[in-house]
């Protein structure tokens, strides 16, 4: 790990987002609450929050950070996408970009897992499904929320 011993503890915030492309029929099933595994958007958001809290455990050289706030929102966007956005906050010596990116990634993977039954083609493949555009939208250092 990088030595951050001598860095000051300051307010840190990162926002990340990404999307998963799904078949329009799958999006309709999500909107209508017809996914066999349950509420896709809520489950994905909770999975993202849990992932942010475990980032240091998943990515070998990340520092364990005392997260003070994690918010993950997942919503249907248009006819063929779910977008997930994560905001992570701490007061620490290093940033929370990796926590925000991990939250979004796991939230999107959860959407995939919960909808894969509807996404498979006749051969059991996923020709339409894809996770895309995962990125850090913004980050702050210092100041307040």
Give CA separation, 92 vs 8, 11, 12, 58, 137, in Å. Answer: 8, 7, 7, 19, 20
Is there a catalytic annotation at residue 57?
A: no
Whole-angstrom distance, CA of residue 140 vs CA of residue 64: 19
Name the CA dihedral angle for 80, 81, 82, 86, rounded to a multiple of 10 degrees.
-170
For residues 117 and 76, give the distance between their C-alpha atoms in angstroms, rounded to a whole number: 18
Q: What share of residues in the chain are helix, strand, coil (percent, to 5)?
A: 35, 30, 35
Query: Catalytic positions, please?
Result: 113
């Amino acid at each position: 790990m990088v030595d951050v011993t001598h860095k000051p503890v300051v307010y840190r915030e990162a926002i990340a987002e990404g999307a998963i492309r799904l078949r329009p029929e799958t999006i309709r099933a999500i909107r209508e609450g017809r996914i066999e595994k349950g509420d896709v958007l809520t489950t994905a958001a909770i999975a993202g929050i849990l992932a942010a809290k475990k980032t240091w455990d998943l990515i070998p050289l990340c520092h364990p950070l005392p997260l003070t706030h994690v918010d993950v929102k997942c919503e249907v966007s248009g006819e063929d996408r779910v977008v997930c956005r994560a905001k992570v906050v701490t007061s620490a010596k290093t940033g929370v970009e990796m926590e925000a990116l991990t939250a979004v990634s796991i939230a999107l993977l959860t959407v995939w897992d919960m909808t894969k039954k509807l996404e498979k083609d006749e051969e059991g493949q996923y020709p339409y499904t894809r996770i895309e555009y995962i990125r850090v939208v913004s980050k702050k250092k210092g100041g307040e929320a």
